[in-house]
Structure 1
C-alpha cells in the first residue's frame, strides 16, 4: 500500500501530466473561442479557416497523447545501488 501511494504521488508530479494539463486548458479555451466567438471578419482574415477551432482541437489531441503516454509508461522508481 505504501509503495502504491508513493508511486501515485510521483506520477502526479510527472512533467508529462503538467504539460498535458497546461496544453489541455489552452486547447479548451481555443476550442470554445473557435466554436462560439469567431466572427466573419476573423474568418475572412484567415482565408476562411477557423484557426482557433483547429488549433484548439490539435492542442486537445496533443494533451490526450501526453496523458496516454504517462498512463502507458508510468514512472518507475530507480533501484538503489547496493554495492
Structure 2
C-alpha cells in the first residue's frame, strides 16, 4: 500500500468532511424553506428577518469553509516506523 493510498483512506474519515456534509445538507434545507415556504406571518414574528434563509446561507458558507480547509490542509498519515532487521536471518527482531 502506497502512502498516497493510505492518505486517501484516512481522508475519507476526516471529521471536517463529515461536518461540512451535515452543515451543507441542513443549509440547503433551510435555504429552500426560507426561499419558498416562509410566510409573511413567520417573517413578522422574527422581527422582519427571514431567519430560515439567513441561517441556511450561513450554514452553506460554513460548510464551504470546512470543505476548503480540508482541501487546503489534507490529512496526512505518518509512515509507520520499520522495526530493525536482524543482520543474520533477515527477519525482524522482537
Question: How high is the TM-score relative to the length of structure 2?
Answer: 0.80
Answer yes or no: is 1:66 the counterpart of 2:63. no
Which structure's residues are more often helix, by fraction? Answer: 1
More relative contact order in 1 or in 2 (CA 8 Å, sep 6+)? 1
Aligned residue for 2:52?
52
RMSD of aligned alpha carbons: 1.7
Q: Which residue of 1 aligns with 2:31?
A: 31
Size of the aligned set, in residue pairs, is 83
Larger radius of gyration: 2
Question: In the TM superposition, what is the alpha-carbon distance from 1:6 to its structure 2 partner?
Answer: 2.1
1:64: Cα distance to partner? 0.3
| Alpha-carbon distance in structure 2 between the residues aligned to 1:29 and 1:9 | 30
- Unaligned 5+ segments in structure 2 are 84-94
- Which residue in the other structure is 1:78 paired with? 78
